[in-house]
Structure 1
Protein backbone atom coordinates (compact mmCIF):
# COMPACT_ATOMS: atom_id res chain seq x y z
CA UNK A 1 0.00 0.00 0.00
CA UNK A 2 1.00 3.65 -0.41
CA UNK A 3 1.28 6.41 2.15
CA UNK A 4 -1.76 7.79 3.97
CA UNK A 5 -1.14 11.30 5.31
CA UNK A 6 -3.27 13.65 7.39
CA UNK A 7 -3.23 16.63 9.77
CA UNK A 8 -3.16 15.95 13.51
CA UNK A 9 -6.85 16.93 13.68
CA UNK A 10 -7.72 13.79 11.69
CA UNK A 11 -6.11 11.44 14.22
CA UNK A 12 -9.29 11.07 16.27
CA UNK A 13 -7.82 12.67 19.37
CA UNK A 14 -4.87 10.28 19.57
CA UNK A 15 -1.72 12.06 20.73
CA UNK A 16 0.84 9.66 19.29
CA UNK A 17 1.44 7.51 16.23
CA UNK A 18 1.37 4.40 18.42
CA UNK A 19 -2.02 5.20 19.93
CA UNK A 20 -3.55 6.01 16.54
CA UNK A 21 -2.23 2.88 14.83
CA UNK A 22 -3.19 0.65 17.77
CA UNK A 23 -6.73 1.91 17.29
CA UNK A 24 -6.64 1.47 13.50
CA UNK A 25 -5.49 -2.14 13.73
CA UNK A 26 -7.87 -3.15 16.53
CA UNK A 27 -11.35 -3.57 15.09
CA UNK A 28 -14.28 -5.92 14.66
CA UNK A 29 -16.82 -5.94 11.86
CA UNK A 30 -19.86 -8.01 11.03
CA UNK A 31 -19.42 -10.70 8.38
CA UNK A 32 -21.58 -13.57 7.25
CA UNK A 33 -21.74 -15.99 10.15
CA UNK A 34 -20.50 -13.64 12.85
CA UNK A 35 -17.66 -11.15 13.29
CA UNK A 36 -14.09 -10.81 12.06
CA UNK A 37 -11.30 -8.43 12.93
CA UNK A 38 -7.92 -7.85 14.52
CA UNK A 39 -6.63 -7.12 18.00
CA UNK A 40 -3.25 -5.50 18.71
CA UNK A 41 -1.62 -7.45 21.54
CA UNK A 42 1.58 -5.41 21.81
CA UNK A 43 3.15 -2.55 19.87
CA UNK A 44 5.99 -0.07 19.84
CA UNK A 45 6.86 3.02 17.81
CA UNK A 46 10.35 4.26 18.78
CA UNK A 47 10.86 7.96 18.05
CA UNK A 48 7.63 8.00 16.01
CA UNK A 49 9.55 6.54 13.06
CA UNK A 50 8.59 2.87 12.72
CA UNK A 51 5.58 1.13 14.24
CA UNK A 52 5.76 -2.58 15.07
CA UNK A 53 2.80 -4.60 16.33
CA UNK A 54 1.75 -8.15 17.08
CA UNK A 55 -1.82 -8.42 15.76
CA UNK A 56 -4.14 -11.35 16.41
CA UNK A 57 -6.79 -12.46 13.96
CA UNK A 58 -10.18 -12.50 15.70
CA UNK A 59 -13.11 -14.62 14.50
CA UNK A 60 -16.38 -14.49 16.42
CA UNK A 61 -14.49 -13.20 19.44
CA UNK A 62 -11.95 -16.03 19.41
CA UNK A 63 -8.25 -15.31 18.88
CA UNK A 64 -6.33 -17.06 16.11
CA UNK A 65 -3.07 -16.46 14.25
CA UNK A 66 -0.76 -13.72 15.51
CA UNK A 67 1.32 -11.90 12.88
CA UNK A 68 3.45 -8.77 12.69
CA UNK A 69 2.42 -5.41 11.27
CA UNK A 70 5.09 -2.87 10.35
CA UNK A 71 4.38 0.76 9.48
CA UNK A 72 6.77 3.39 8.24
CA UNK A 73 5.76 6.58 10.01
CA UNK A 74 5.86 10.22 8.95
CA UNK A 75 5.80 12.62 11.91
CA UNK A 76 6.12 16.25 10.87
CA UNK A 77 4.46 18.68 13.34
CA UNK A 78 5.66 21.73 11.38
CA UNK A 79 4.33 20.63 7.99
CA UNK A 80 3.05 23.59 5.98
CA UNK A 81 0.92 21.33 3.77
CA UNK A 82 -1.02 19.75 6.64
CA UNK A 83 0.69 16.37 6.24
CA UNK A 84 1.70 16.27 9.88
CA UNK A 85 1.24 12.54 10.28
CA UNK A 86 1.32 9.68 7.85
CA UNK A 87 1.99 5.96 7.64
CA UNK A 88 2.64 3.18 5.18
CA UNK A 89 1.52 -0.20 6.49
CA UNK A 90 2.93 -3.64 5.68
CA UNK A 91 2.76 -7.12 7.11
CA UNK A 92 5.77 -9.27 7.83
CA UNK A 93 4.92 -11.43 4.78
CA UNK A 94 5.95 -8.48 2.62
CA UNK A 95 9.51 -8.70 4.01
CA UNK A 96 9.82 -5.10 5.26
CA UNK A 97 13.26 -3.47 5.24
CA UNK A 98 12.49 -2.15 8.74
CA UNK A 99 13.85 -4.93 10.96
CA UNK A 100 14.32 -3.60 14.48
CA UNK A 101 11.19 -5.13 16.00
CA UNK A 102 11.35 -5.46 19.81
CA UNK A 103 11.69 -8.94 21.30
CA UNK A 104 8.44 -8.52 23.28
CA UNK A 105 6.57 -8.43 19.97
CA UNK A 106 8.53 -11.14 18.14
CA UNK A 107 7.92 -13.67 20.92
CA UNK A 108 4.14 -13.31 20.51
CA UNK A 109 4.04 -14.25 16.82
CA UNK A 110 2.61 -17.54 15.59
CA UNK A 111 4.89 -19.96 13.69
CA UNK A 112 4.92 -19.29 9.96
CA UNK A 113 6.00 -21.04 6.76
CA UNK A 114 6.11 -17.79 4.77
CA UNK A 115 9.72 -17.28 3.65
CA UNK A 116 9.49 -13.47 3.58
CA UNK A 117 8.17 -13.43 7.14
CA UNK A 118 10.78 -15.94 8.31
CA UNK A 119 13.58 -13.90 6.75
CA UNK A 120 12.24 -10.72 8.39
CA UNK A 121 12.11 -12.44 11.79
CA UNK A 122 15.69 -13.70 11.35
CA UNK A 123 16.89 -10.18 10.55
CA UNK A 124 15.09 -8.77 13.58
CA UNK A 125 16.58 -11.47 15.82
CA UNK A 126 20.08 -10.78 14.45
CA UNK A 127 19.69 -7.05 15.19
CA UNK A 128 18.51 -7.82 18.72
CA UNK A 129 21.56 -10.04 19.25
CA UNK A 130 23.88 -7.26 18.05
CA UNK A 131 22.34 -4.73 20.44
CA UNK A 132 22.60 -7.21 23.34
CA UNK A 133 26.41 -7.39 23.10
CA UNK A 134 28.49 -5.67 25.77
CA UNK A 135 31.84 -3.93 25.77
CA UNK A 136 34.00 -2.81 28.67
CA UNK A 137 36.25 0.17 29.13
CA UNK A 138 39.61 -0.65 27.54
CA UNK A 139 38.32 -3.35 25.16
CA UNK A 140 39.89 -3.38 21.73
CA UNK A 141 37.31 -3.86 18.97
CA UNK A 142 37.66 -4.56 15.27
CA UNK A 143 34.96 -3.46 12.83
CA UNK A 144 34.01 -5.61 9.86
CA UNK A 145 34.83 -2.66 7.57
CA UNK A 146 36.93 0.49 8.08
CA UNK A 147 35.25 3.81 8.91
CA UNK A 148 36.27 7.24 7.67
CA UNK A 149 36.07 10.32 9.92
CA UNK A 150 35.93 14.05 9.23
CA UNK A 151 39.52 14.58 10.42
CA UNK A 152 40.74 12.24 7.68
CA UNK A 153 41.33 9.26 9.94
CA UNK A 154 40.37 5.86 8.53
CA UNK A 155 40.25 3.10 11.09
CA UNK A 156 39.05 -0.41 11.69
CA UNK A 157 40.36 -1.09 15.21
CA UNK A 158 39.65 1.08 18.24
CA UNK A 159 40.05 1.12 22.01
CA UNK A 160 36.75 1.53 23.85
CA UNK A 161 36.50 4.36 26.37
CA UNK A 162 33.39 3.91 28.46
CA UNK A 163 32.02 6.52 30.84
CA UNK A 164 28.70 5.30 32.22
CA UNK A 165 26.56 4.58 29.17
CA UNK A 166 28.55 6.91 26.93
CA UNK A 167 31.00 5.31 24.52
CA UNK A 168 33.88 6.88 22.65
CA UNK A 169 36.60 5.21 20.63
CA UNK A 170 40.32 5.88 20.41
CA UNK A 171 42.57 4.72 17.61
CA UNK A 172 45.22 2.37 19.09
CA UNK A 173 48.12 4.37 17.63
CA UNK A 174 46.66 7.88 18.03
CA UNK A 175 45.21 10.21 20.66
CA UNK A 176 42.06 11.21 18.77
CA UNK A 177 38.67 10.18 20.13
CA UNK A 178 35.75 9.33 17.88
CA UNK A 179 32.02 8.72 18.01
CA UNK A 180 30.64 5.79 16.02
CA UNK A 181 26.98 6.20 15.14
CA UNK A 182 24.74 3.20 15.95
CA UNK A 183 27.79 1.25 17.06
CA UNK A 184 25.81 -1.61 18.63
CA UNK A 185 24.12 -2.32 15.31
CA UNK A 186 27.39 -2.65 13.37
CA UNK A 187 29.35 -5.84 12.74
CA UNK A 188 32.35 -5.92 15.09
CA UNK A 189 34.21 -8.24 17.41
CA UNK A 190 36.40 -7.86 20.47
CA UNK A 191 40.08 -8.45 19.70
CA UNK A 192 41.59 -10.85 22.26
CA UNK A 193 44.50 -9.30 24.13
CA UNK A 194 47.25 -11.52 25.48
CA UNK A 195 47.98 -10.57 29.06
CA UNK A 196 51.52 -11.08 30.35
CA UNK A 197 51.56 -12.01 34.03
CA UNK A 198 54.44 -10.99 36.24
CA UNK A 199 56.73 -13.86 37.22
CA UNK A 200 57.07 -14.25 40.95
CA UNK A 201 60.13 -16.05 42.28
CA UNK A 202 59.97 -17.80 45.62
Structure 2
Protein backbone atom coordinates (compact mmCIF):
# COMPACT_ATOMS: atom_id res chain seq x y z
CA UNK A 1 0.00 0.00 0.00
CA UNK A 2 1.22 3.52 -0.78
CA UNK A 3 1.13 6.62 1.40
CA UNK A 4 -2.20 7.92 2.70
CA UNK A 5 -2.42 11.58 3.74
CA UNK A 6 -5.14 13.41 5.63
CA UNK A 7 -6.04 16.63 7.38
CA UNK A 8 -5.98 16.41 11.17
CA UNK A 9 -9.75 17.02 11.17
CA UNK A 10 -10.10 13.62 9.50
CA UNK A 11 -8.29 11.81 12.33
CA UNK A 12 -11.61 11.04 14.07
CA UNK A 13 -10.70 13.22 17.02
CA UNK A 14 -7.46 11.41 17.79
CA UNK A 15 -4.79 13.94 18.82
CA UNK A 16 -1.67 11.97 17.82
CA UNK A 17 -0.55 9.57 15.08
CA UNK A 18 -0.24 6.79 17.68
CA UNK A 19 -3.82 7.21 18.89
CA UNK A 20 -5.15 7.34 15.34
CA UNK A 21 -3.27 4.25 14.18
CA UNK A 22 -4.22 2.30 17.31
CA UNK A 23 -7.86 2.90 16.40
CA UNK A 24 -7.32 2.39 12.67
CA UNK A 25 -6.05 -1.16 13.18
CA UNK A 26 -8.65 -2.15 15.76
CA UNK A 27 -11.83 -3.29 14.01
CA UNK A 28 -14.24 -6.15 13.39
CA UNK A 29 -15.85 -7.19 10.10
CA UNK A 30 -18.64 -9.60 9.27
CA UNK A 31 -19.05 -10.91 5.72
CA UNK A 32 -22.11 -12.09 3.79
CA UNK A 33 -21.20 -15.75 4.25
CA UNK A 34 -21.31 -15.28 8.02
CA UNK A 35 -17.52 -15.40 8.52
CA UNK A 36 -15.82 -12.76 10.63
CA UNK A 37 -12.43 -11.08 10.71
CA UNK A 38 -11.21 -8.91 13.56
CA UNK A 39 -8.00 -7.17 14.52
CA UNK A 40 -7.15 -5.51 17.82
CA UNK A 41 -4.02 -3.58 18.72
CA UNK A 42 -2.69 -4.91 22.02
CA UNK A 43 0.18 -2.46 22.39
CA UNK A 44 1.99 0.05 20.19
CA UNK A 45 4.71 2.68 20.08
CA UNK A 46 5.27 5.55 17.68
CA UNK A 47 9.05 5.99 17.75
CA UNK A 48 9.92 9.64 17.21
CA UNK A 49 6.57 10.13 15.45
CA UNK A 50 8.35 8.54 12.48
CA UNK A 51 7.57 4.82 12.75
CA UNK A 52 4.60 3.19 14.48
CA UNK A 53 5.01 -0.40 15.71
CA UNK A 54 2.01 -2.38 16.87
CA UNK A 55 1.26 -5.88 18.13
CA UNK A 56 -2.17 -6.81 16.76
CA UNK A 57 -4.29 -9.84 17.57
CA UNK A 58 -5.95 -11.34 14.48
CA UNK A 59 -9.13 -13.38 14.85
CA UNK A 60 -10.71 -15.25 11.94
CA UNK A 61 -13.82 -17.34 12.31
CA UNK A 62 -12.96 -21.02 12.59
CA UNK A 63 -9.25 -20.37 13.27
CA UNK A 64 -7.08 -19.87 16.32
CA UNK A 65 -6.16 -16.26 16.98
CA UNK A 66 -2.57 -15.09 16.58
CA UNK A 67 -0.58 -11.89 17.12
CA UNK A 68 1.44 -10.20 14.39
CA UNK A 69 3.51 -7.04 14.16
CA UNK A 70 2.34 -4.09 12.12
CA UNK A 71 4.67 -1.30 11.01
CA UNK A 72 3.63 2.12 9.72
CA UNK A 73 5.93 4.78 8.36
CA UNK A 74 4.63 8.09 9.69
CA UNK A 75 4.88 11.69 8.52
CA UNK A 76 3.38 14.04 11.08
CA UNK A 77 3.30 17.78 10.47
CA UNK A 78 0.40 19.46 12.31
CA UNK A 79 1.38 22.82 10.76
CA UNK A 80 1.48 21.69 7.14
CA UNK A 81 0.23 24.59 4.99
CA UNK A 82 -1.45 22.26 2.50
CA UNK A 83 -3.36 20.45 5.25
CA UNK A 84 -1.47 17.18 4.83
CA UNK A 85 -0.99 16.85 8.55
CA UNK A 86 -0.71 13.07 8.82
CA UNK A 87 0.66 10.63 6.31
CA UNK A 88 1.27 6.93 6.85
CA UNK A 89 2.25 3.82 4.95
CA UNK A 90 1.34 0.51 6.57
CA UNK A 91 3.09 -2.88 6.36
CA UNK A 92 2.99 -6.22 8.09
CA UNK A 93 6.10 -7.91 9.46
CA UNK A 94 5.74 -10.56 6.73
CA UNK A 95 6.72 -7.87 4.23
CA UNK A 96 10.13 -7.56 5.91
CA UNK A 97 10.13 -3.81 6.71
CA UNK A 98 13.49 -2.06 6.70
CA UNK A 99 12.57 -0.31 9.95
CA UNK A 100 13.59 -2.49 12.89
CA UNK A 101 13.36 -0.41 16.09
CA UNK A 102 10.40 -2.25 17.57
CA UNK A 103 10.36 -2.10 21.39
CA UNK A 104 10.96 -5.36 23.24
CA UNK A 105 7.60 -5.24 25.03
CA UNK A 106 5.83 -5.42 21.66
CA UNK A 107 8.04 -8.21 20.33
CA UNK A 108 7.18 -10.28 23.42
CA UNK A 109 3.49 -10.19 22.51
CA UNK A 110 3.97 -11.76 19.06
CA UNK A 111 3.02 -15.40 18.58
CA UNK A 112 5.39 -17.85 16.82
CA UNK A 113 5.49 -17.73 13.03
CA UNK A 114 7.05 -19.70 10.18
CA UNK A 115 7.12 -16.77 7.77
CA UNK A 116 10.76 -16.25 6.78
CA UNK A 117 10.44 -12.49 6.23
CA UNK A 118 8.76 -12.02 9.61
CA UNK A 119 11.37 -14.15 11.37
CA UNK A 120 14.17 -12.16 9.76
CA UNK A 121 12.53 -8.88 10.77
CA UNK A 122 12.12 -10.05 14.37
CA UNK A 123 15.79 -11.10 14.43
CA UNK A 124 16.90 -7.66 13.21
CA UNK A 125 14.80 -5.98 15.88
CA UNK A 126 16.29 -8.13 18.63
CA UNK A 127 19.84 -7.64 17.30
CA UNK A 128 19.28 -3.88 17.44
CA UNK A 129 17.98 -4.11 20.99
CA UNK A 130 21.10 -6.04 22.03
CA UNK A 131 23.35 -3.41 20.45
CA UNK A 132 21.57 -0.56 22.20
CA UNK A 133 21.64 -2.29 25.59
CA UNK A 134 25.45 -2.35 25.77
CA UNK A 135 26.99 -0.41 28.64
CA UNK A 136 29.03 2.64 27.59
CA UNK A 137 31.47 3.99 30.18
CA UNK A 138 33.59 7.12 30.26
CA UNK A 139 37.18 6.36 29.25
CA UNK A 140 36.27 3.13 27.46
CA UNK A 141 38.47 2.26 24.46
CA UNK A 142 36.27 1.09 21.58
CA UNK A 143 37.23 -0.20 18.14
CA UNK A 144 34.66 0.12 15.37
CA UNK A 145 34.29 -2.76 12.93
CA UNK A 146 34.20 -0.25 10.05
CA UNK A 147 36.36 2.92 10.14
CA UNK A 148 34.55 6.27 9.95
CA UNK A 149 35.52 9.30 7.89
CA UNK A 150 34.79 12.71 9.44
CA UNK A 151 34.25 16.10 7.83
CA UNK A 152 37.75 17.27 8.82
CA UNK A 153 39.28 14.35 6.91
CA UNK A 154 40.08 12.19 9.92
CA UNK A 155 39.62 8.47 9.33
CA UNK A 156 39.61 6.21 12.34
CA UNK A 157 38.18 3.21 14.11
CA UNK A 158 39.78 3.45 17.60
CA UNK A 159 38.29 5.96 20.02
CA UNK A 160 38.13 6.78 23.70
CA UNK A 161 34.62 7.44 25.02
CA UNK A 162 34.04 10.82 26.67
CA UNK A 163 30.79 10.57 28.61
CA UNK A 164 29.20 13.48 30.45
CA UNK A 165 25.76 12.57 31.68
CA UNK A 166 23.80 11.28 28.68
CA UNK A 167 26.12 13.06 26.22
CA UNK A 168 28.68 11.00 24.30
CA UNK A 169 31.65 12.20 22.31
CA UNK A 170 34.78 10.41 21.14
CA UNK A 171 38.44 11.30 20.92
CA UNK A 172 40.89 9.33 18.78
CA UNK A 173 42.82 6.72 20.74
CA UNK A 174 45.97 8.22 19.24
CA UNK A 175 45.85 11.87 18.30
CA UNK A 176 43.82 14.96 19.08
CA UNK A 177 40.27 16.06 18.46
CA UNK A 178 36.77 15.29 19.67
CA UNK A 179 34.04 13.83 17.51
CA UNK A 180 30.34 13.04 17.57
CA UNK A 181 29.33 9.71 16.06
CA UNK A 182 25.76 9.59 14.80
CA UNK A 183 23.74 6.53 15.86
CA UNK A 184 26.78 5.19 17.69
CA UNK A 185 24.77 2.68 19.73
CA UNK A 186 23.66 0.97 16.54
CA UNK A 187 27.20 0.44 15.26
CA UNK A 188 29.25 -2.73 15.59
CA UNK A 189 32.32 -2.35 17.79
CA UNK A 190 34.47 -4.17 20.32
CA UNK A 191 35.83 -2.95 23.63
CA UNK A 192 39.61 -2.92 23.71
CA UNK A 193 40.96 -4.12 27.08
CA UNK A 194 43.10 -1.50 28.79
CA UNK A 195 46.14 -2.31 30.91
CA UNK A 196 45.65 -0.79 34.32
CA UNK A 197 48.73 -0.14 36.43
CA UNK A 198 47.96 -0.38 40.11
CA UNK A 199 49.84 1.71 42.65
CA UNK A 200 52.41 -0.33 44.57
CA UNK A 201 51.96 -0.16 48.31
CA UNK A 202 54.99 -0.82 50.45
CA UNK A 203 54.34 -2.19 53.91
CA UNK A 204 56.60 -0.84 56.59
CA UNK A 205 58.72 -3.58 58.19
CA UNK A 206 57.63 -4.62 61.62
CA UNK A 207 59.91 -3.64 64.46
CA UNK A 208 60.67 -6.21 67.10
CA UNK A 209 61.04 -4.67 70.51
CA UNK A 210 64.52 -5.07 71.99
TM-score when normalising by structure 1:
0.93
User: In 2, distance between residues paired with 1:34 and 1:153?
Assistant: 64
Aligned-pair distance for 1:19?
A: 0.4
Give the deviation of 1:79 after TM superposition: 2.5
- Structure 1 residue 199: Cα displacement: 4.9
Q: Distance in 1 between matches of 2:192 and 2:200?
A: 25
Task: Output aligned runs, 1:101-180, within 5 Å.
Answer: 101-180=102-181
Equivalent residue, structure 1, for 2:206:
none
Identify the residue that residue 13 of structure 1 maps to in structure 2.
13
Q: How does 1:19-58 map to 2 (within 5 A)?
A: 19-31=19-31, 32-33=33-34, 35-58=36-59
Q: CA deviation at 1:177?
A: 1.1
| Corresponding residue of 1:86 | 87
CA RMSD across the alignment? 1.8
Counterpart of 1:2 in structure 2 is 2
Q: How many residues align?
A: 201
Q: Structure 2, unaligned stretches of length 5 or more?
A: 204-210
Larger radius of gyration: 2
The DSSP-based 3-state class of the residue aligned with 2:48 is: helix
What are the Cα deviations for residues 143-168 of structure 1, in whole angstroms up to 9, with x where unaligned? 11111222222111100011111111
> Take 1:193 and 1:88, find their aligned partners in 2: how far apart are those partners?
48
Q: What is the CA deviation profile of residues 14-68 of structure 1, one whole-angstrom value per residue up to 9, with x for unaligned ones?
A: 11110000000001122343642100000000111000000001346x9710000
What CA distance in whole angstroms lies between the structure 1 residues aligned with 2:133 and 2:122?
16
- 1:92, 1:172 → 2: CA distance? 41
Q: 1:144 to 1:99 in 2, by over 3 A?
A: same
SS across alignment from 2:65: strand
- Structure 2 counterpart SS, 1:133: coil
Identify unmatched segments of 5+ residues in structure 1: none
Secondary structure of the residue that 2:88 maps to in structure 1? strand
Q: TM-score, normalised by structure 2?
A: 0.89
**Kept after mapping to 2: 8 A contact 1:74/1:87:** yes
Range 114-123 or range 161-170, more displaced: 161-170
